[in-house]
Structure 1
Amino acid sequence: MRDTARQGSAAAIHPYPCISSDCSRPFAVMFDGGRLGNQMCQYLSLMLLRKQFGIKIAIRAKMKRILTTSFENVWVPLNGSKCFTQHTQRILYRNLYNQLFNFNEGNPEAYPLSKSYFISNYPCPIELLLPWREKLSKVLVFKPKILEEARRRMHRSLEAAGLAESPDLTVVTVHVRRTDYISYVKSRYGLAPLTATYFHRAFNYFRKRFAHPVFLVTTDDKKWCEDHILGPDVLYAGSQDPSVDIALLSQGNHTIVSFGTFGFVSAFLGKGMIVHPENNPTYNCESSGVTLSVPVS
């Protein structure tokens, strides 16, 4: 854990190399699998390599297409363009990160890549990303219409509950993912779906610490939430649009997440505490003052 924290330090940002005038420099390109949450975390992971080590980066057309529907500042060049050819060597993200880190320790002023790489997995290295949260959260800026709709839904939910004008309100956004993820976490990790116990424990953590907390839920299973966790201070505020839900989740003072990258990237773009299930396989360690694990049963 000590080495991980050191590697993820955001104390210094490597100066950006020129990305347009020097086509001879190798680069890294990211795999573009998965849906919006995966694409966002893969993009953030790639941006981490650029900011920390100063390497050239590129993305594929699918990632560009998905991200530009929700965000207005996706500037990274496309793989396959003049200076970012298809000739790359496959590598796992963690292996490339360690290679860059070890090189940078001994040669901080030298360019760390001798060849171009294609990152072939779905990286979302939370313990590396969290120290860079403040800086990296600015590389994905929601389009105004998406952010406006998210804030409108938040206000409408608070207003319907008579809480819109409450003083000292602490808004905690909550992601409840079920449907497809129930079978996925069972087959991939041997985990049971989250029960109401986890969410109520997470709610109580904030109820004990703030005078007026309110919990705004986005979910892919509204009926389950209505039956198990909604109440006077637990309100449904979600939509059928993943972009709007991610924006909404990012607007809370704190965030409670379930399994998966969707909840994490939403919380990462926000602020405050990120509360997650104790056995969440995505979180390899606790980041003091930022994340908190809560027992699920």
Structure 2
Amino acid sequence: MTRSTTARSTNDTIIWTAHPSARLGNKMGEYAALYALAKLNGHQAYVLPQMQRELGNIFKISLPVLPQAVADSIKWKEYTLKDWMSPEYRNISGQYVKLFGTPCSWTFYHHIREEILREFSFHDSIKKEANSILERLKGPKVNVTYVGVHVRRGDYVKVMRDIRRGVVADKNYLQQAMDYFRWKYDNPFFLVTSNEMDWCKNNIDHSLGDVHFVGDGQEGSPARDFALLAHCNHTIMTIGTFGYWAAYLVGGETIYLTNFTLPDSPYLNIFKYSAAFLPEWIGIPADLSTLMQKGQ
């Protein structure tokens, strides 16, 4: 259970928190960075009620909750984080610090990975449901290797093309990634989740009978899809923090889409491939030919 607190702003109280924004994957990144940086600086971290509601309903997070009335009474020092760890974050000053930004990088917290994994332990009911679905899909087969596949599309299709000068994962990438696991493991079971399940069903070859379209695509209630991915043995991710965090929690082999923007993309000013993906993960370069043909 997440603890609550009656912390008040006194002359000697030091309070760190994070501004909650965006969806599940981003909030997990915000929480993990807050947890790690507050610990690094020797201060107590608190979560705001909104973050506790969304993450606490899924995970057994331990950071205490700062009542909204207390948070509203504090004059915060707003500190914006980059998407990766930077040396100056080891010495952040201020009595009341509120972190902004949506960092999603192992460089903040990988040195305390086991603690972060404990923070993102699923509630028992969610874990039980995910394991039940996996068992039902497996049926009588033995020695099954579950591979979670997250296909992020939706708004990202236009965002990547029109703003970031990049692409999302295509059918060829997914085929290559799946073929890797088919080559390496005898009985792979691919569990596909996405916010565009129709696209997946039309573009992922499921003729071998090892692909299962299990996602419900409900972005407003992502716990079920995320738990299914996180209870697999390995991960195929495309783009986005949702897939990243599933892979990070799983800890098995991860295949990810890399080099998915043109070299002059403005996105590369705020994003680093080396900070976004663990060194041992396997990157498959995106096909940028459609962007190059358009001269974008």
Shorter-chain TM-score tier: 0.7 to 0.9
Matched, 1:165 2:144: no
Residues 48 and 274 from structure 1, CA distance in 2 versus in 1: closer, same or farther, beyond 3 angstroms? Answer: farther
CA distance in 2, matches of 1:128, 1:172: 26
How far apart in 2 are the matches of 1:296 and 1:228?
16
**1:266 Cα deviation from its structure 2 partner:** 1.7
What CA RMSD, in Å, does the superposition of the two structures yield over aligned residues? 2.8
What is the CA–CA distance in structure 2 between the aligned matches of 1:96 and 1:195, rounded to whole Å?
A: 30
Q: What is the match of residue 237 of structure 1? A: 214
Cα distance in 1 for partners of 2:195, 2:103 equals 24
Task: Using structure 1 for the length normalisation, give the TM-score.
Answer: 0.78
Pairwise CA distance, 1:131: 4.3
Unpaired segments ≥5 residues, structure 2: 1-5, 261-267, 288-296
Structure 1: distance between partners of 2:194 and 2:126: 17
Counterpart in the other structure of 1:254: 234
Partner SS for 1:65: helix
Instruction: Among all aligned residue pairs of Structure 1 and Structure 2, give the percentage whose two residues are the same amino acid.
Output: 26
TM-aligned CA distance change 1:259 to 1:83, over 3 Å = closer
Who is 2:273 aligned against? Answer: 284
Displacement of 1:20 in angstroms is: 6.8
Give CA deviations for 1:100-149 in whole Å, capped at 9, x if unaligned.
42x4xxxxxxxx64432221211212333444433311112212222222
1:93 is aligned, of 81, 88, 112, to 81
Distance change (3 Å), C-alpha of 1:96 and 1:127: closer
Work out the CA distance in 2 between the residues paired with 1:295 and 1:233.
Answer: 24
Please, which runs of 5 or more residues in structure 1 have no aligned partner?
1-18, 104-111
* Aligned counterpart, 2:24: 36
Shift of 1:184: 2.4
- What is the Cα deviation at residue 204 of structure 1? 1.9
In structure 2, what is the Cα distance between the partners aligned to 1:38 and 1:271? 19
User: 2:35 is matched with which residue: 38, 47, 53?
Assistant: 47
Superposed, which structure 2 residues align to 1:102-181 within 5 Å? 103=91, 113-159=93-139, 164-167=140-143, 169-181=144-156
Residues 85 and 105 of structure 2 are in contact (CA less than 8 Å); yes or no, is this contact kept in structure 1?
A: no
User: In the TM superposition, what whole-angstrom CA distance separates every residue of 1:225-270 from its partner, at most 9, and x where no partner exists?
Assistant: 1111141222212234410111111111111111111111122222
Residue number in structure 2 paired with 1:263: 243
| Equivalent position amino acid for 1:292 in 2 | I
The answer (yes or no) to whether the contact 1:36–1:67 under 8 Å persists in 2 is yes
Partner-residue secondary structure (3-state), 1:122: coil
- Whole-angstrom distance in 2 between the partners of 1:181 and 1:138: 30
Change (3 A) 1:213 1:222: same
Letter in 2 for 1:267: A
Counterpart Cα distance in 2 of 1:124 and 1:248: 21
Report the CA distance shift for 1:157/1:183 in structure 2 as closer, same or farther (over 3 A).
farther
- Could you tell me which amino acid in structure 2 is paired with residue 166 of structure 1? V
* 1:10 matched residue in structure 2: none
Kindly report which structure 2 residues correspond to 1:8-19, keeping only aligned pairs within 5 A, or say none. Answer: none
Structure 2 residue matching 1:57: 3-state secondary structure: coil
Structure 1: how far apart are the matches of 2:60 and 2:18?
A: 19
Residue equivalent to 1:62: 50
How many residue pairs get aligned? The number is 264
Mapping of residues 201-216 of structure 1, within 5 Å: 201-216=176-191
> Could you give the per-residue CA deviations for residues 13-58 of structure 1, whole angstroms, max 9, x where no partner exists?
xxxxxx9799514232211111222212211111121343432212
Are residues 227 and 212 of structure 1, via their aligned partners in 2, closer, same or farther at CA, if it must alter by over 3 Å?
A: same
Residues 255 and 194 of structure 1: is their aligned pair in 2 closer, same or farther, counting only changes over 3 Å?
same
**Aligned pair in 2 of structure 1 residues 130, 208: CA closer, same or farther (>3 Å)?**
farther
- The one-letter amino acid paired with 1:141 is S
Cα pair distance change 1:93/1:28, threshold 3 Å: farther
Q: Check the 8 A contact 1:64/1:74 in 2, yes or no.
A: no
SS in 1 for 2:155: helix
The AA in structure 2 aligned to 1:220 is N
1:272 matched to 2:252:
yes
Structure 2: distance between partners of 1:22 and 1:60: 15
